[in-house]
Amino acid sequence: MILQKLSIIIITTFSFIATAQTSKKEMSKLIHDEFQFADKQYKYLMKAIPQDKMPQSYKASEGKVVTKDISWWCSGFYPGSLWMIYEQTKDLEIKKEAERTLSLIESNKTFTRDHDLGFMMFCSFGNAYRITKDPKYKEIILASAESLSTRFRPGMQAILSWDKMADFKGPVIIDNMMNLEMLVWASQNGGNKKTAEIAIAHANTTMKNHFRPDYSSYHVIDYDKNSGKVLSKKTFQGYSDSSAWARGQGWALYGYTMMYRLTKDEKYLSQARNIAKFILNNPTLPEDKIPYWDFNDPKIPNVPRDASAAAIISSALLELGQFTKGEEKKNYIGVAKKMLINLSSEKYHAKLGENGGFLLMHSTGGLPLNSEIDVPLIYADYYFLEALKRYKDWYL
């Protein structure tokens, strides 16, 4: 038993040192190679999807890529990933596919049925405009922000996630934080100034009601739509109402870091740092830093990982490192770096031509729903690519 514990300590220490000593040159090569791989891998994915659908996941048992309609909340991640790949490789075939898929989802700019328009339109058209500066993409983003703003309920001081969801009256999920960037960006780039006010109100309401004393987040808060009274605090995709669903913690960390970048309001930075502390100091966070699907599943370690949560958290930590100093900054960057190195390893990373054309393996969508368990997911790829780009842009 002593020898076994000693071996674990040695392996853990060696892994930490190996990650810490990965040089800038080695990270530069890793990132370059990852984008070159993505360029090739996504050409397999391109050929596996119908022209009117978006890729979502892969069923290995059937050898079939799972696709969704353009109104699905993930419809922006594939074009967004393509744009990031094109930005790094300048591959015109990838750009052509990115442009084709943008035209496919453009009609979502008037979509008002749920809160996911930021995912759908800013991850896609936002990247397209950032890279090309084509004014038509900007106009689509501004129109999308206006559509999303119609989901705001003044009585709740929050954006309603869905009109109907099980027995909930006014459901707001932590994922909603990710859709605020488009609202603030629009107001700062020629759009309606009220969209930023809506985003700030939503962020403040969420900060007040979604978090526990340890800064872990509930998944769903149910409100009275008229009074804003909190009716219940629940989960839809986590282990239990009181548990810390891993991807939800990633959405929270990313969302408040992003809101600080956009507003420079110190309370958002403080919130992000406290969320990061919860995640990074959590006793169930594995040594390789790729979280289990829920931090509180009592069956840990015999439960699925969630590579998508790791990708989101990594990208968020790299941005949080932009706003902090000293050992704190070093820690955020170091953990994010370790996540990226491990996500790039054979344990989590697909081989060329396999995994349906997706980059990462071992994500978990909705375990309690028996949905998308231990599979590739398009948003895991998106945030992995974004984190690689951020590391290259900020730390090399």
Residue 14 lies in a domain: no
Residue 227 lies in a domain: yes
Catalytic residue among 39, 91, 116, 294: 116
Residue 306 lies in a domain: yes
Known binding-site positions for substrate: 116, 175, 235, 247, 251
Provide mean pLDDT across the span 199-215.
98
Examine the pLDDT at 13 and tell me if it is beyond 60: no
Residue 118 lies in a domain: yes
Phi first, then psi, for residue 217 (nearest 5°) are -110, 140
> Is 175 an active-site residue?
yes
Order of strands across the sheet that contains 171-173:
171-173, 220-223, 230-234
Beta strands in 166-322 (DSSP E): 171-173, 220-223, 230-234
Identify the domain containing residue 307 by its residue range.
Answer: 25-395
Cα distance between residue 197 and residue 199, in whole Å: 5
Examine the pLDDT at 352 and tell me if it is beyond 60: yes
Residue 330 lies in a domain: yes
What's the pLDDT tens digit per position in 220-235?
999 999 999 999 999 9
Residue 95 lies in a domain: yes
Q: What is the dihedral of CA 122, 124, 130, 136, to 10 degrees?
A: -90
Q: What pairs with residue 281 in β-bridges?
A: none
Examine the pLDDT at 6 and tell me if it is beyond 50: no
Residue 1 lies in a domain: no
Residue 3 has a pLDDT of 38
What's the pLDDT tens digit per position in 115-151?
999 999 999 999 999 999 999 999 999 999 999 999 9
> Is 393 an active-site residue?
no
Catalytic residue among 39, 114, 175, 297: 175
How many CA atoms within 13 Å lie on the side-chain side of 377?
A: 24
Q: Could you tell me the CATH number of the domain that includes residue 65? A: 1.50.10.10
Residue 387 lies in a domain: yes
Count of domains for the chain: 1
Known binding-site positions: 116, 175, 235, 247, 251
